[in-house]
Every structure is written in structure tokens, then in C-alpha cells.
Amino acid sequence: MFHSEVTTNNIRVRVHSRYVAERSDPDQDEWFFIYTVEVSNLGDTAAQLLSRHWIITNAEGERQEVRGPGVVGEQPNLEPGQSFTYTSACPLKTPFGTMHGTYQMISGDGERFDAEIAPFSLGEPNAIN
């Protein structure tokens, strides 16, 4: 399992990823990973997650950008001290890769900012690199 953690403007983003062998088919260049994200509001005002921007890079250096509203169909509003956790997936055509990005947030007082998602690895645990 791989993980990352970073705090931006009192929004902490923790990510844990893992390889899912039963959903992968290396003979067809298909590796499947899941990642669980916990977004926590460590500040003293509410903040809402509006959208996401992911940058996914595989072992061959091919880069894919994913943008969209919210996460898993939601735009969670986090009161001070609250967290939101979700799990999503990322297929790759290589056994290794990385992900990072930002969540576009708006604070309770209307300030827009990007909460960083620190880089984390996607990797088949028993592969030789």
C-alpha cells in the first residue's frame, strides 16, 4: 500500500492506494488500483469541495488529466472538524504509476482555493521495476 498526506489552507488530504490483482490482467496490459481519500477540515470555518483535477502518469511517462465536479458524485461541505472519505479506482496499462492533483474548494466566507493532493504511487507489489 502507498500513501500521501498534505494540508493546504487547513484542508488535509490523505490518500492510500493499493493494487487489486483480481481486477487486473497483466497479460492484456491492464493493472487496476483503488485509492481511498480522506479530506478533513482542520480549520475553523466550513469549506466545500467543488471539483477535482487529477494528473495520472504511468510508467511510460504517459500523462492523463481528469477534471470534473465533486468526487464520487458529491460536493461535500465540511464543517470544522469534519472529514469526508471515499474510494475510487484507476486502471493503468503499466504496473506502476503516480497520481496527484488538487481539489477546488470554497470556504464558508467565499474564498476559493486549491487543496493539494500530494503525489502517491500506484504499483503492483511483486513486480520488478
Residue 69 lies in a domain: yes
Residue 128 lies in a domain: no
SS (H, E, C) 4-41: EEEEECCEEEEEEEEECHHHCEHHHCEEEEEEEEEEEE
Look up the pTM and report it: 0.93
pLDDT in tens, 49-92: 999 999 999 999 999 999 999 999 999 999 999 999 999 999 99
Rounded to 5 degrees, φ, ψ at 27 are -65, -25
Amino acid identity of 7?
T
For residue 50, the domain's CATH number is 2.60.40.1470
Domain span at residue 107?
A: 2-122
Residue 129 lies in a domain: no
Residue 127 lies in a domain: no
pLDDT in tens, 9-50: 999 999 999 999 999 999 999 999 999 999 999 999 999 999
Residue 24 lies in a domain: yes
Question: CA separation (Å) from 23 to 28, 35, 109, 128?
Answer: 12, 14, 43, 20
Residue 92 lies in a domain: yes
Set of cell numbers at residue 118: 500530494
Distance CA 128, CA 115 (A): 34
Residue 34 lies in a domain: yes
Residue 71 lies in a domain: yes
Model pLDDT, residue 127: 65
**Which residue(s) pair with 8 in the sheet?**
11
Total number of domains in the chain: 1
